Amino acid sequence: MTDELATIVAGLSAPQKIISPKYFYDETGSQLFDEITALPEYYLTDTELDIMKQHIDEMADLIGIEASLIEFGAGSSMKTRLLLEHLHSPAVYVPVDISEEHLLASQQRTKKDFPDIEVLLVVADFTHEFDLPDPATTPRRNIVYFPGSTIGNFEHDEAIDLLRVMYHEAGSDGALLIGVDLQKDPAVIDAAYNDSAGVTARFNLNMLDHLNREFGADFDVDAFRHRAAYRPDEGRVVLELVSAREQVVSIGGRQIPFARDETIITEYSHKYTLEGFAAMAEVAGFRVDRAWVDPAQWFSVQYCVRDR
């Protein structure tokens, strides 16, 4: 058994079954996520883009000239393009992703629209420190960019560990520009993860197809249901797959029993207060210098500088 399969099996053998959200993103899953970002209920993407549009000049001025933009994730979103359009002669754009395929696709799009900006790909798991490439123009400073509130996928301690990696990669005089979803009316959050078109349900259930295909599991996808609920006391959405009946699933030569209504947790999506995020950033060595929010205060984009 590979380490990866062993980790999946261990998650399915725990009292509360759990699988990492990274298994959402096969080709179908990536497409479904793109569809999610266009849903009327999924406020995150549009709100973040609006905040960026509103404050892009101030962001570019804070970042300054000849910066290196290091994006955690393959990038090429509208937000990234907006930044690249407005930054003052950026030295280099460095998307970092575990998937070389995603990086190459993102590079093609970036190169086409920004022929004058050097693009250097880093294939790495960004939850651990990695080496930065050597651009043709020496950057004045490093700006780590982490949009989309993907930080919300990480539990408190892991989020701090990831912020520490960002602190390291930013280097002295560097900064972090990060999208952070905020706590709000639970009904708004619940709707974003239970869209009426059922795209999020398909996205969640697709993980089982992915595991069947990649890891030889035999999940009966029709025997599971999507569930997502915001838990205000925990400040997070929990996405689950609920077993519709008693059943046994085989994976990696193991038999995994499910009771009726037993669940697999497939994702956490943490929502923060401005104070809560600032406290977490501070533990990792960052001070929040600027936090832009939309008028309803649903989402934030935060510019964090190294504090020590």
Interface contacts to ligand AVJ, rule CB under 6 A: 36, 44, 148-150, 152-153, 193, 200, 267, 269
Q: How far is the CB of 150 from ligand AVJ (least distance, A)?
A: 5
Q: How far is the CB of 39 from ligand AVJ (least distance, A)?
A: 9
Q: How far is the CB of 184 from ligand AVJ (least distance, A)?
A: 13
Q: How far is the CB of 137 from ligand AVJ (least distance, A)?
A: 32
Nearer to ligand AVJ, 60 or 182 (CB): 182
| Cα 305 from Cα 308, distance rounded (Å) | 9
Q: How far is the CB of 93 from ligand AVJ (least distance, A)?
A: 21
| Closest residue to ligand AVJ in the complex (CB) | 269
What is the side-by-side order of every strand in the sheet holding 17-18? 17-18, 263-270, 236-243, 224-231
Instruction: Tell me the DSSP string of 271-289.
Output: -B-HHHHHHHHHHTTEEEE
Nearer to ligand AVJ, 59 or 239 (CB): 239
Q: In Å, how far are 42, 85, 169, 253, 297 from 51, measured between CA atoms?
A: 15, 16, 25, 49, 10
At residue 266, the 3 state secondary structure works out as strand
Nearer to ligand AVJ, 148 or 285 (CB): 148
* Kind of pairing between the strands at 92-97 and 67-72: parallel
Nearer to ligand AVJ, 60 or 239 (CB): 239
Residue 83: half-sphere exposure toward Cβ, Cα within 13 Å: 33
Nearer to ligand AVJ, 47 or 149 (CB): 149
